[in-house]
């Protein structure tokens, strides 16, 4: 099972829009993911009391959303969970807050972290690292503080050894067409998609799919990445959805490099 945790400063219309968009993807991917309980965690407690005491209300088998500013609620939610999708907006003491949440994860739980470039750099510079990050290729220039021309001449192995990614076990870098590369526990993989009309993979779907794969310790790297890409494809707007994994056999390639 996986859960989603979203860190925000306070409740705003923009925040509600982001959550609504995420929930739309989750509902669409229900045949693959089943329920994904969602905790919206606010660092500013002036607007609300903890609502975690509410029961999980299942409406038409769709995931429920819980709101809180109490870290104990977060710890209760993730107890026994295999993987957590943790996304962070800019909040007061962003690094300290994210580090606090990451330290509450047990050794057998895997956090897939996502945030804007500045937040990602802040979190990856801390002592406690997420297990996995998933980054679109066009963000590398900002993340690594290198020109796009320099990035284009670098080998995947060179990019993956950048200090920013140090001690992060799972780093997946991809473009909108699903072509990319992956470093998983110091093993490098090439990733590609063939015979599929993919114009723009859905990033939220990718995060959720990777978390689903990572939640199962028995799954291979190839299976984990396939889970991510299947969800990223299935969540594309106006796309005909095929949830049968056999359909994707020989269409999603995850090849270990020597």
Question: Residue 76 maps to which CATH number?
Answer: 3.40.1190.20
Q: What percent of the chain has pLDDT over 90?
A: 69
More confident residue, 233 or 238: 233
The b/e string for 174-212 (b: 16+ C-beta within 10 A; e otherwise) is beeebebbbbbeeebbebbbeeeebeebbbbbbbbbbbb
Give every strand in the sheet of 252-256, ordered side by side.
65-68, 38-42, 2-8, 83-88, 110-115, 132-136, 170-174, 180-184, 187-193, 252-256
- The beta strands (E) that lie in the chain are given as 2-8, 38-42, 65-68, 83-88, 110-115, 132-136, 170-174, 180-184, 187-193, 252-256
Residue 231 burial by Cβ neighbours in a 10 Å radius (0-12, 13-18, 19+)? buried
pLDDT of 61 reads 46
* Mean pLDDT calculated for residue range 21-35: 92
The model's pTM is: 0.91
Rg (CA), the chain: 18
Q: Tens digit of pLDDT for each residue in 207-236?
A: 999 999 999 999 999 999 999 999 999 898
For 42-67, the pLDDT digits (tens) are 887 665 554 444 444 443 444 478 88
Whether 222 and 229 have beta carbons less than 8 Å apart is answered as no
If DSSP codes are grouped into helix, strand and coil, which group holds residue 191? strand
Domain span holding position 15: 2-256
What pairing do the DSSP bridges indicate for beta strands 83-88 and 170-174?
Answer: unpaired
Lowest-pLDDT choice from 16-25, 188-197, 241-250: 241-250
pLDDT tens for 113-155 read 999 999 999 999 999 999 999 999 999 999 999 999 999 999 9
Q: Considering its fold, how many domains does the chain have in total?
A: 1
Higher pLDDT, 232 or 196: 232
């Amino acid at each position: 099972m996986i859960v989603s945790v979203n860190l925000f400063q306070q409740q705003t219309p923009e925040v509600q829009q982001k959550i609504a968009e995420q929930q739309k993807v989750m509902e669409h991917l229900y045949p693959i993911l089943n329920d994904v309980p969602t905790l919206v965690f606010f660092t500013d407690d002036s607007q609300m009391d903890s609502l975690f005491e509410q029961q999980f209300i299942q409406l038409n088998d769709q995931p429920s959303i819980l709101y809180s500013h109490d870290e104990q609620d977060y710890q209760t939610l993730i107890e026994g969970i295999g993987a957590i999708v943790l996304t962070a907006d800019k909040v007061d003491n962003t690094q300290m807050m994210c580090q606090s949440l990451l330290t509450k994860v047990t050794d057998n739980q895997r956090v897939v972290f996502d945030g804007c470039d500045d937040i990602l750099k802040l979190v990856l510079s801390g002592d406690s690292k997420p297990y996995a990050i998933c980054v679109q290729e066009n963000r590398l220039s900002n993340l690594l503080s290198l020109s796009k021309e320099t990035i284009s001449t670098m080998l995947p192995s060179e990019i993956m050894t950048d200090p920013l990614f140090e001690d992060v076990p799972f780093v997946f870098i991809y473009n909108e067409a699903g072509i990319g590369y992956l470093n998983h526990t110091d093993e490098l993989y090439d990733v590609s998609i063939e015979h599929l009309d993919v114009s723009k993979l859905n990033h939220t779907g990718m995060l959720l799919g990777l978390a689903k794969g990572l939640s199962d310790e028995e799954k291979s790297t190839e299976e984990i990445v396939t889970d991510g890409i299947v969800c990223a494809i299935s969540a594309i707007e106006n796309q005909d959805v095929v949830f049968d994994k056999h359909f994707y056999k020989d269409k999603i390639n995850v090849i270990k490099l020597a």
